[in-house]
Chain A
Amino acid sequence: MNKIASFHPGLWLALAVVAAIGIWPIPAQDAALREVSFTVLIAIVMATSLNVLMGYTGYVSFGHVVFYGLGGYVGMYLLNDYHAPLPLAILAGGAAAGLLAFLLGKAILKLRGAYFALVTIGVNEAMRTFISNFEPFGASTGIALQFSVYGAYGGAKQALWVVYYTIVGLALFGVLASYLIRHSKFGLGLMTIREDEDAAEVMGIVTPNTKTLAFVASAILPGMVGVLFFFKNGNVEPGDAFRLGVSIETLVMIMLGGQGTVMGPILGALGYQRLRGFLLTSPIFKNAQLVVAGILLLLIVLFIPAGAVGWLRQRFAWLRKVLA
């Protein structure tokens, strides 16, 4: 298997970090640790998938949470109204998110720069307000699962672990996919678009199709994760499913770790979620969580725009061999 031997060591490091976060609570079957890892892993999937669009292709989206929310809703609808098995609901959530990205992609990806960012804010708000009125999805009250649904997975307690193992798998898959995209011809096309879209077109890249494919690729995993999150949560509401803040937090994680790298979103997600956890539980910063996060973001944007991984790679050339 020459192909596997040729993988950058940075991929193995990235997978090892995600695996370590994932396995950490398993031996002790510790529910509290599991919750910590669960939020970090969700953040890793969200940041890694958004990085395909933002870091590789250079399109900044404020609407990433739309895929998470829509996937979650579709999955919950199938679980609740049709008693679909969880794996089917997860796949349906991912498919719905991918389909939405496909339908939206061609239209909105022709907008560049800040106009694209603006329209994604509009898409998020349009979706949230629409779902708040959409009766099959419970309108403004959303969908609440009956407790009996968890019976099929050995009760609520066991179901939480099933959800957890699935998210570990999805996170590992997401990181691998992110690496493979980055090192494929498709990924090279995306990065060419990021550097100069007009030049990319001249070089023979069919930019509308390539961008749409990147959009779809970045949408599927959030759709699947949404199903898992809201299944675990027991209910889904428009305000939780389409929270603009989640999209922006995901952007912050990517900025923190370093956009366009495989390792960056992982470290960014880990760092941001741990910091957030610390601030929320600390007696001093409890009320100032948003302020501290804002100052941190401002400092990164002003002084280290390449993020942690980007900065390290620039500063220490030898690290380029181990950080992908």
Chain B
Amino acid sequence: MNPGGILTSLMDGLLIGVVYGIAAMGLTLIWGVMRVINLAHGAIISLGMFGVYLIFTNFGIHPYLALLLVALAGLLFGMLIYYITIARVINAPYLSTLLATFAINMIFIGLGTAVFTTTPRDAGFSLGNVSLGPVTLQGTRLVAALVTLLVTGGLYFFLYRTRPGKFVRAVANNRAAAELMGIPSARILALSFGIGTMLAAIAGGLIATFFSFNILSGDIYQQKSFIIGVLGGLGNPVGALLGGLILGALEGLLPLVMPNTWVPVIEFVLFIVILLVRPSGLLGGKSE
């Protein structure tokens, strides 16, 4: 294996890793703010994929513009889901929120399968390749990584520099105390769920620009989000980006030394081991 090949594999892995990271960021934000493990995350990722794909292929709108529309739809959709379902079970035992979000997942996947079937789709979109010395990278993946970094920066700015963002952090920190300080916690929870959903939709939309997919594909990325969430610390959105990079690097490099099919075994064993020895995540985060 020549060094150029290794470097290309690593770069490919890192670029896809940041996109995994943004999906995981949505999951971990929702967990951090309201202690809900969103099992509908994968379904939203799938819907994000279909959103960008359908807008691009039907109306010829540029995929990155379509991504903006999908992100906005994701935000509103997430808030709607929150008000209809999550708000009713947010104080119930965690089994209720797990099953409620799973029920939402079943409904979306069921509807999606009936409407779109499970035939693989491909947006057929390309931005050519970029060569840097021995490394050749796909343009779409580079842009996806850039968009992710931009969104992460935006999220960071929102959480630390704006008033609603500070409210989100306050509610995550201590909901009862935040309410006593006059923060409208119900609206903030809905907003947080909406943002989490939006991040999932963006991740799906970005993946649709370079991978083929079907309605069930989101599930794989949901599981990667779990692994990343645990790597970076559940409840720590910025840690999710680092977790994504770690997972991406593993996925880029491990196939060079072992058969491809062993990679998920390593990933899930890693997931279990981290949960057991350090449930707050490698990079720290909120634990019970």
Assess the B99–A114 pair: CB atoms within 8 A. no
- Residue in chain A with minimal CB distance to B40: A294
A294:B230 contact, CB within 8 angstroms:
no
- Smallest Cβ-Cβ distance to B271: which chain A residue: A122
CB contacts (< 8 Å) of B107 on chain A: these are 290-291, 294-295, 298
Contact B85 A298 (CB under 8 A): yes
Complex contact A302–B100 (CB within 8 A)? yes
Are A117 and B98 interface neighbours, CB within 8 A? Answer: yes
Contact A248 to B261, CB < 8 A, known contacts A60-B94, A113-B94, A295-B107? no
Complex alpha-carbon distance, A254 and B105, angstroms:
19
Q: Which residues of A contact B100 (CB under 8 A)?
A: 298, 301-302
Across the interface, A126 reaches (CB within 8 A) one of B95, B111, B269, namely B269
- List which B195-238 residues lie within 8 A (CB) of chain A: 223, 226-227, 230
**What secondary structure prevails in chain B residues at the interface with A?**
helix
Q: Do residues A140 and B99 form an inter-chain contact, with CB atoms below 8 A?
A: no
Q: How many B residues face the partner with a CB closer than 8 A?
A: 40
Q: Which of B95, B102, B110 has the most CB of A within 10 A?
A: B95
With A295-B107, A298-B100 known as contacts, the answer to whether A126 contacts B89 (CB < 8 A) is no
Instruction: Answer yes or no: B180 CB below 8 A from chain A CBs.
Output: no
Do residues A289 and B276 form an inter-chain contact, with CB atoms below 8 A?
Answer: no
Residue with the highest number of chain B CB atoms closer than 10 Å, among A113, A122, A255: A122
Interface residues on A, range: 35 or more
Cβ A118 vs Cβ B275 within 8 A:
yes
Contact of B110 among A132, A248, A294, A302 (CB under 8 A): A294
A107 in the interface, Cβ–Cβ < 8 Å? Answer: yes
Q: A117-B37, A126-B272, A129-B261 are in contact. Are A111 and B110 (CB under 8 A)?
A: no
| Cβ contact within 8 Å between B104 and A111 | no
Contact A118 B230, CB 8 Å, known A289-B110, A294-B103, A301-B100: yes
**With A and B bound together, what is the CA distance between A76 and B103 in angstroms?**
34
* Contact indicator A290/B276 (Cβ below 8 Å): no
Assess whether A305 is interfacial by the CB under 8 Å rule.
Answer: yes
Which residue from B103, B113, B265 sits with its C-beta under 8 Å from A295?
B103
The answer to whether A121 has its CB under 8 Å from any CB of chain B is yes
Residue B181 lies at the interface, judged by CB distance under 8 Å to chain A: no
Give the Cβ gap from B267 to chain A, nearest Cβ, in Å.
8
Say yes or no: A113 contacts B110, CB within 8 Å: no
A302 to B96, CA, bound (A): 8
A80 at the interface (CB under 8 A from B): no
- Whole-angstrom CA separation of A251 from B99 in the bound complex: 9
What residue of chain B has the Cβ atom nearest to residue A126's Cβ?
B268
Contact residues of B between 93 and 141, Cβ < 8 Å to A: 94-96, 98-100, 102-107, 109-111, 113-114
> A122–B272 contact, CB under 8 A?
yes
Contact with B along A111-128 (1 / 0, CB 8 A): 111110111011101100
Residue B259 CB within 8 A of the other chain: yes
In the complex, what residues of A have CB within 8 A of residue B92's CB?
305
Task: Kindly supply a per-residue 1/0 record for chain A positions 277-301, scoring 1 wherever the CB is within 8 Å of any chain B CB and 0 otherwise.
Answer: 0000000000111111111011001
Identity of the chain A residue whose Cβ is nearest the Cβ of B31 in the assembled complex: A114
The reply to whether B276 and A111 contact each other, CB–CB distance below 8 Å, is yes
| B64 to A: closest C-beta gap in Å | 32
Judging by beta carbons under 8 Å apart, are A114 and B94 in contact?
A: yes
Q: How far, in angstroms, from A123 to B265 measured CA to CA in the complex?
A: 10
In the complex, what's the smallest C-beta–C-beta distance from B103 to chain A, in angstroms?
A: 4
9 tightest Cβ-Cβ pairs between the two chains A and B: A290-B110, A294-B106, A291-B110, A126-B268, A294-B107, A298-B103, A297-B103, A129-B264, A287-B114
Given A54-B95, A133-B259, A298-B85, 8 other A-B contacts at CB below 8 A? Answer: A118-B226, A122-B226, A129-B265, A288-B114, A290-B113, A297-B106, A298-B100, A301-B100
26 A-B Cβ contacts within 8 A? A112-B288, A114-B37, A114-B94, A115-B275, A115-B288, A117-B94, A118-B226, A125-B264, A126-B271, A129-B261, A133-B261, A248-B102, A251-B95, A287-B114, A288-B111, A288-B114, A289-B110, A291-B107, A294-B105, A295-B107, A298-B100, A298-B104, A301-B89, A301-B99, A301-B103, A305-B96
The interface of chain B, by Cβ under 8 A from chain A, is 35, 37, 85, 88-89, 92, 94-96, 98-100, 102-107, 109-111, 113-114, 223, 226-227, 230, 259, 261-262, 264-265, 268-269, 271-272, 275-276, 279, 288
